[in-house]
Amino acid sequence: MYHKKFTHFKDGKQEVRRISKKGTALGTCATLNRKYLCCNVHVLRSVHNCPFECSYCFLQNYLTDGSTKIVDDTAHLMNEVKDALRSEPSRLFRIGTWELGDSLALEKKTGQAQELIQAFARLNNAVLELKTKSDAVDSLLSLDHKGKTVLSWSLNTEELIASEEHQTASLKRRVSAIRKSAGAGYLIGLHFDPMILYDRWKEGYKKLVADVFEAVPPDRIAWISIGSLRFNPEMKKKIENNYPDSRLTSAEMVLGDDAKIRYVKPLRVSMYQYLYNELKKYSADNALAYLCMERWDVWDRVFGCHPESVEHLDFLFAQSLYTRFGLGAEQPKKERYMTCT
């Protein structure tokens, strides 16, 4: 069958094409540079492209044909997941569907998330993460998820949602969806990423944290991530061309060892420290908080410590989820997470 190719990345965002699984769909989200810590989450590439238009989104630089595709044979996706789980039955796998698109933005058209939630409910050593900037949770609230799915939100201030996260759900709608999801027994993930510098950023992020924790009990939060604006050098021109009203590229930024442009380190550290201090006012003492794609020394300056390695951070996730929520087939053992090189 002939399928249209789109010359501009925005053109195919609203036209969803169903495809069969081809090749390997399950991989690992990890930085290519060991100087940066990654949480070592697995990714299930079930969605390609996103109807939202965040000015900083790397997909505008990554996807070549602009089409929006969703893998419609969930059974084949799950067969690959089950093969991985059988290979390491004592390990707890965290698996997300958000690497190449929003996990729930297309849910009303596809129903894919509902199928995955029900499939993961039957697994002993895996947790599904569905990360979104939408509020499309109503069809998920009555499912028997058995606590095996974490519904996560990528969060930013009201000002930044309006100026940089076009077509996404407002902060008010996201917070409402978080409240409903926690009420339906789902664990909640919070991703304050990317933090973006603007004139009143402190007031904005302080209000953001207060609004979110007014909606969700601290003991329902599975994890909290913090990160800042970063993109490949070639993205700079694309952002300026695709979103000429954005001011993202006007800030002082530097090129890191992982070939991504970031705010200078003292600024990143001050932003992280400020947000983390706000989070500590509300979050549970044993909540797992982490930095996304940052160096060891940045961890030390924000948290006062850092994991020994990427694999150690993966173990800390498993330990937290087992201890706090009883997830996983057995008590995680550190040595089983430290076999990678």
Q: Which fold has domain 16-337?
A: pyruvate-formate lyase- activating enzyme (3.80.30)
pLDDT, tens digit (0-9, with 9 covering 90-100), for 131-165:
999 999 999 999 999 999 999 999 999 999 999 99
pLDDT at residue 254, as a whole number: 95
pLDDT at residue 336, as a whole number: 66
Residues 6+ apart with CB under 8 A from 332: 90, 91, 92, 315, 318, 319, 322
Average pLDDT (171-179) is 98
Task: Tell me the pLDDT band of 3, cut-offs 50, 70 and 90.
Answer: very low
Please count the other Cβ atoms lying within 10 Å of the Cβ belonging to residue 199: 8
Dihedral angle over CA of 108, 129, 26, 90, nearest 10: -140
Is residue 165 classed as helix, strand or coil in its secondary structure?
Answer: strand
pLDDT, tens digit (0-9, with 9 covering 90-100), for 90-144:
999 999 999 999 999 999 999 999 999 999 999 999 999 999 999 999 999 999 9
The beta strands (E) that lie in the chain are given as: 16-19, 26-28, 36-37, 42-44, 47-48, 53-54, 68-71, 93-96, 126-132, 149-154, 165-166, 187-195, 221-228, 230-231, 253-255, 261-263, 289-291, 294-295
Task: Please say if the pLDDT value at position 12 is more than 70.
Answer: no
Is residue 134 classed as helix, strand or coil in its secondary structure?
Answer: coil
pLDDT at residue 334, as a whole number: 80
pLDDT, tens digit (0-9, with 9 covering 90-100), for 277-326:
999 999 999 999 999 999 999 999 999 999 999 899 999 999 999 999 99
pLDDT at residue 268, as a whole number: 98
The beta strands (E) that lie in 162-241 are given as: 165-166, 187-195, 221-228, 230-231
Distance CA 8, CA 236 (A): 17
pLDDT, tens digit (0-9, with 9 covering 90-100), for 213-258:
999 999 999 999 999 999 999 999 999 999 999 999 999 999 998 8
pTM score, whole prediction:
0.94
pLDDT at residue 7, as a whole number: 54
pLDDT at residue 62, as a whole number: 79
Determine contact, residues 155/178, Cβ cutoff 8 Å: no
Domain range list for the chain? 16-337
Q: Helix crossing, 201-213 with 171-183: angle to 10°?
A: 30
pLDDT at residue 5, as a whole number: 53
Residue entry with tokens 């789980």:
85
Distance CA 55, CA 73 (A): 31
Residues 6+ apart with CB under 8 A from 52: 13, 102, 105, 133, 134, 165, 166, 167, 168
pLDDT, tens digit (0-9, with 9 covering 90-100), for 47-77:
999 999 999 999 888 776 678 899 999 999 9
